[in-house]
Structure 1
Amino acid sequence: MLEVDRLSRAFGGVYAARDVSLAVADGELRGVIGPNGAGKSTLFTMISGHLHPHSGRITLDGQHIDRLPPHRRAQLGIAIVFQGARIFPGMSVLANVAVGATARTRAGAASAVLRLPRHRREERQIFAAAYEALAQVGLADWADRDAEQLPLGQQRRLQLARALTAQPKLLLLDEPASGLRANERRDLAQLIRQLHRGGMTIMLIEHDVSMVTSLADRITVLDLGEVIADGTPDEIRRNPRVISAYLGKGAAA
């Protein structure tokens, strides 16, 4: 589904990503790990289009997308959940989630302003999709509440539901469990596992190595902007370069 070929990006002469290459199969859950500053989030923002690479290619289902803007990539099926909960204040949980379906709209601005039948029909479809996504993440009972009232763990689920309304073929999760309590992390991991089992292709950045190894089919390890390992969770646990750079000497035990 996704192919990243020798992707590079530098900031002030310092490489955040250098010749990063990886391929993600349809239906795969790919973990991406590495120390702070390894280039993980930079990789995700280049895939989603919020940051352009200085060199390299990104291909989605055989189509080169590395020069497309974020909204075009969203229309092609890429959704990203950024690190940290982003909530639109003064809006209900349902309205916050419905925002994620804007990439699917076709009626146009004039139709919206004039409240034409096509716009009203599309609006009903969007809110139906948003409610379905809320049910999928276990937040249907919270639909009419003020989104700002949600606890952090529920806000992360809201973010995930917002991404799901776009019906993505590739879901990018950038540290979704950051700041969550142990029980919230377990619940989130189970939700991600359910989405994966449903056939969704997912890329996951997480500092919680045990969470990633329990979920991922394969793991890519970055260090100083470069790929230092790529393999199954078992292979990654035993890789000497990964142990030295990231996991620590006791990790192979």
Structure 2
Amino acid sequence: MLAITGVSRSFGGVYAVRDVSLTVADGEVCGIIGPNGAGKSTLFNLITGHLAADRGEISFLGHRVDRLPPHRRARLGMSIVFQAARVFRGMTVRENVMVGLHGRTGAGFVSAALRLPRHRRDERLIAAEASSALERVGLADWASRPADRLPIGQQRALQLARALCARPRLLLLDEPASGLRGEERERLAVLVEELRAGGLTILLIEHDVAFVTRLADRLVVLDLGQVIADGPPAEVRADPLVLAAYLGHAS
């Protein structure tokens, strides 16, 4: 599904990601973990196209994408849920989710401007699908509320609903549990488990080791921008290099 080969990115001569290579198989949940400053967010932005790599290649579904802008990668089937809540202000929760569906509609600008029958039909269909996505993430009762007034946990769920509406082949989650309370974290974990059972490929970048270990089929560990471990969660958590990265060499 995803292949990263020898990817590097530096800032002011300091490498945030250095010669990283990894793959994500179709239907797999791959977790990327590491201590603060390990390069997780930089790698995420390289995959999604929000940063350009200094060198290396990124392929998605057999197509090289490291030279494509984010919206082109999205059209190929990448959907993203960012760590920071990103909502469209002045719009309801349902309208925010509908944004994730407009890329799949057939009506163009003229049809929308003139409110032609095809546009009205498309709007009814995407409103129904958006409502279904909100039900799936537990936000059905919030659908008509202003999106920017939601608590942080619900805003994160809104972003996930919007991403799922694009019917992705690969879902990228950037520290989705950050800032969530216990009940919200459990609800998110259950939803990710349901998505995995449905065959969706997920790349999960997370700081919470216990959370990602529960969900991932495989863990990749970054430290100082380099991969130091890659394998099953139980094996990776017992790796001396991983323990040193998190606890220090003296420990």
Cα distance in 1, alignment partners of residues 141 and 183 from structure 2: 20
Moved more, 57-66 or 124-133: 124-133
1:165 to 1:246, Cα distance in 2 relative to 1, 3 A? same
The answer as to whether partners of 1:93 and 1:142 remain within 8 angstroms in 2 is yes
Deviation of 1:118 after TM superposition, in Å, equals 3.1
Identity %: 65
Deviation of 1:247 after TM superposition, in Å, equals 5.2
Q: Is 2:163 the partner of 1:163?
A: yes
1:17 corresponding residue in structure 2: 17
Q: Is 2:101 the partner of 1:116?
A: no
Aligned ranges for residues 1-253 of structure 1 at < 5 Å? 1-246=1-246
* Secondary structure at 1:20 match in 2: strand
Gaps of 5+ in 2: none
The answer as to whether partners of 1:221 and 1:228 remain within 8 angstroms in 2 is yes
Q: What amino acid sits opposite 1:180 in the alignment?
A: L
1:123 to 1:250, Cα distance in 2 relative to 1, 3 A? farther
- Superposition RMSD on alpha carbons, in Å? 1.8
Deviation of 1:238 after TM superposition, in Å, equals 1.1
Q: Deviations over 1:134-175 (max 9, x none)?
A: 111111122112223322221111111011111111000001
Cα distance in 2, alignment partners of residues 58 and 181 from structure 1: 35
Q: What amino acid sits opposite 1:98 in the alignment?
A: M
Q: Across the two proteins, how many residue pairs are aligned to each other? A: 251
* Secondary structure at 1:207 match in 2: coil
1:131 to 1:249, Cα distance in 2 relative to 1, 3 A? farther
Cα distance in 2, alignment partners of residues 224 and 106 from structure 1: 46
TM-score by length of 1: 0.93
* Secondary structure at 2:154 match in 1: helix
Deviation of 1:249 after TM superposition, in Å, equals 7.8
The answer as to whether partners of 1:71 and 1:103 remain within 8 angstroms in 2 is no
Q: What amino acid sits opposite 1:66 in the alignment?
A: D
Deviation of 1:185 after TM superposition, in Å, equals 1.2
* Secondary structure at 2:241 match in 1: helix
Cα distance in 2, alignment partners of residues 136 and 98 from structure 1: 14
Cα distance in 2, alignment partners of residues 116 and 9 from structure 1: 48
Q: Deviations over 1:176-219 (max 9, x none)?
A: 11111122211211111111111111111111100111110000
1:118 to 1:210, Cα distance in 2 relative to 1, 3 A? same
* Secondary structure at 1:53 match in 2: coil
Cα distance in 2, alignment partners of residues 197 and 125 from structure 1: 26
* Secondary structure at 1:68 match in 2: coil
The answer as to whether partners of 1:29 and 1:216 remain within 8 angstroms in 2 is yes
1:194 to 1:159, Cα distance in 2 relative to 1, 3 A? same
Moved more, 155-164 or 83-92: 83-92
The answer as to whether partners of 1:84 and 1:178 remain within 8 angstroms in 2 is no
Q: What amino acid sits opposite 1:124 in the alignment?
A: R
Moved more, 203-212 or 102-111: 102-111
Gaps of 5+ in 1: none
